[in-house]
Amino acid sequence: MLRIHFVSLIMLFAHSLNSQVWKTYPYHQDSSVLNFPRDEGYHPGEVVEWWYVNAHFKGDSTGTDYAGMFTFFYYPAFGFDGFRIFELSNENTGDFLTETQPCKYTTLSQTELEIQSNSGVLGNIQEEWVTIKDPEGGLKPFQYRIKASMANGSIDFNMNAVKRPLMVGGTGFLYEGETGYTYYYSITELQISGTVNMNGVTETIHGQAWIDRQWGEFNPNTGEQYTWMSLNMSNGMDFNLWNIFNKQNEIPNTPEFRFCSAYLNDSTDTTFSDFNLERLKYVYTSDSVRCYDQQWRFTAPNINLLITATQSNNEVKLPFRFFEGSLHIEGVINGEEVSGIGYTELLHSFDKPDVSILAPANFSHQGPEVVPIVWKLNNPDDGRPLWYDLSISTDGKNTFTPIATHLTDTSFVCAPDSLLDAECWLMIKSFSIDTVLFQTLIADQPFYLGEAGIDESPAMSAVKSFPNPFTSGTSLEFELKKPALVNLRITNVCGKEISRMQAFYHSAGRQTINWNAVVPSGIYFYHLQFNGQNFSGKLLKH
């Protein structure tokens, strides 16, 4: 697929190629697996399917800026065919309405987009999402009508696509997250008109919308957590962006967990994974139960965008709690300043850091050596990078003196010269970039630094390597006289470092470090380092 650093050349032709030759039924894109209008309809036998739209629109009478989202799900449960989620937001006042209702579909076409629903427990809410027909009953390609209502809110929109469907993943079929496959397309821009009612005010509107369509095994109802964004840019480009978290709160660097499909023009799109989504701000819900990210920096070759949620209270609570709201975008693409609007869906909630101290642990430190400070983050999260500040108190925890700030590693070596003959208490502050997520931890016991005399005996016994020679891996065995922070480096015969093990705090006594030698046969050297001392030796791999 086309890589993003060809965007500069492509954008030269972006406007000249927008002739809407695609706006016909039947419609099929070369190399895609989807066909229209068939794949706008229902697909029996799939685990889950949904029809999603978000919109930004302005009231013609009041000038109010609105945003909204509506989704039909086919997901049978409890005697219903599925459910729908509806939300409206007044972007000027921050007023927010949302409602989830079960659905019984009276019409669910398999040949086109035609959904009629009796929504609500009593089935008394009539809603629809259909393809508009001409006077002769023929389908108008990529033109739709949607009608929905909830307490204190309703919409009746006509939607007319102005950009061809974006085949997410390149073909409209991909493997997503841990769940499995999904069929997926977006229509990234539709002109909309119609009426809205919100909190008793009814008016005509105009604006634009984005449609997402998915069906398959990927199922947000079963706990797949993610950050999703639709981004409409002022230069005509659109981005469908995903970060998906696995059960360890990691966002693996693979196309299943991080990908971005980009609409460039009506003949060109691309999907890429070489981007970074940095989270800059977080916010807690009013009940302090969940915390969502609210501002991001999206960077990729030739792309640098600042993305901000316009409201902080847009949380949907059924069928589970998640954030759904509009976005404001500004930045640079290919050296050109751009702006944009978008929408985000946030299923992942962030926790405060949970840190425990590993070292030092209640021991007397002899002599003017260094003190290893080591801690562990018990709940790592790729969406919540942390910084650490270290402080030490020598007056019984009344005051703390900073010794290091804004660390990113979970270890630090402190020179204790000014702390000799003192009982010391360690404090670690862990915090997100905006300090909304934080923990302050004070060690539950002190450590003592003294000058009881310098012990000249070796602090580490001779190092033994076994097996040596070896074929796949070897172990280094040694004995420490007292606890220490130990580093292991492996170099080749030219002195080039080919492996490094992260520094780790070892207690006193016999220790073993294993090296899985994924290297060619040859001669290598180990270097064990701690407290300024170095122990080296030769290793031979057959």
Task: Report, as an integer, the average pLDDT of 500-519.
Answer: 81
Note whether 178 and 160 are within 8 A (CB): no
Give the per-residue pLDDT at 505.
Answer: 67
pLDDT in tens, 363-411: 545 444 567 889 999 999 999 999 999 999 988 899 998 989 999 999 9
Residue 25: HSE in the Cβ half-sphere, 13 Å Cα cutoff: 17
Query: Does the pLDDT value for residue 420 go beyond 70?
Result: no
Query: Does the pLDDT value for residue 46 go beyond 90?
Result: yes
Phi, psi for residue 256 in degrees, rounded to 5: -75, -25
Would you list the domain boundaries of the chain? 35-346, 355-450, 464-541
Q: What is the CA radius of gyration of the chain?
A: 30
pLDDT in tens, 338-362: 999 999 999 999 999 999 998 886 5
Instruction: Name the residue with tokens 């997926």.
Output: 184
Distance CA 30, CA 513 (A): 55
CATH superfamily of 35-346: AttH-like domain (2.40.370.10)
Q: Which fold has domain 355-450?
A: Immunoglobulin-like (2.60.40)
Task: Report, as an integer, the average pLDDT of 220-244.
Answer: 95
Q: What percent of the chain has pLDDT over 90?
A: 70
Give the per-residue pLDDT at 368.
Answer: 47
Query: Does the pLDDT value for residue 17 go beyond 90?
Result: no
Task: Report, as an integer, the average pLDDT of 136-163.
Answer: 98
Q: How confident is the model at residue 333 (pLDDT cuts 50, 70, 90)?
A: very high
What residue ranges in 151-290 does DSSP mark as E strands?
Answer: 153-161, 166-167, 173-176, 180-198, 201-216, 225-233, 238-245, 258-265, 268-272, 276-284
Q: Do domains 355-450 and 464-541 have the same CATH topology?
A: yes
Instruction: Name the residue with tokens 């066909």.
Output: 35
Mean pLDDT of the chain: 90
Task: Report, as an integer, the average pLDDT of 240-256.
Answer: 96
Token representation of residue 301: 């070759």
CATH 2.60.40.1930 fits 464-541, yes or no: yes
Residue 98: enclosing H or E segment and its boundaries?
Answer: strand 96-108
Q: How confident is the model at residue 443 (pLDDT cuts 50, 70, 90)?
A: very high
Give the per-residue pLDDT at 75.
Answer: 96
Query: Does the pLDDT value for residue 12 go beyond 90?
Result: no
Distance CA 528, CA 231 (A): 50
Q: Which of 63-67, 102-106, 420-424, 527-531 has the lowest mean pLDDT?
A: 420-424
Query: Does the pLDDT value for residue 3 go beyond 50?
Result: no
Q: How confident is the model at residue 133 (pLDDT cuts 50, 70, 90)?
A: very high
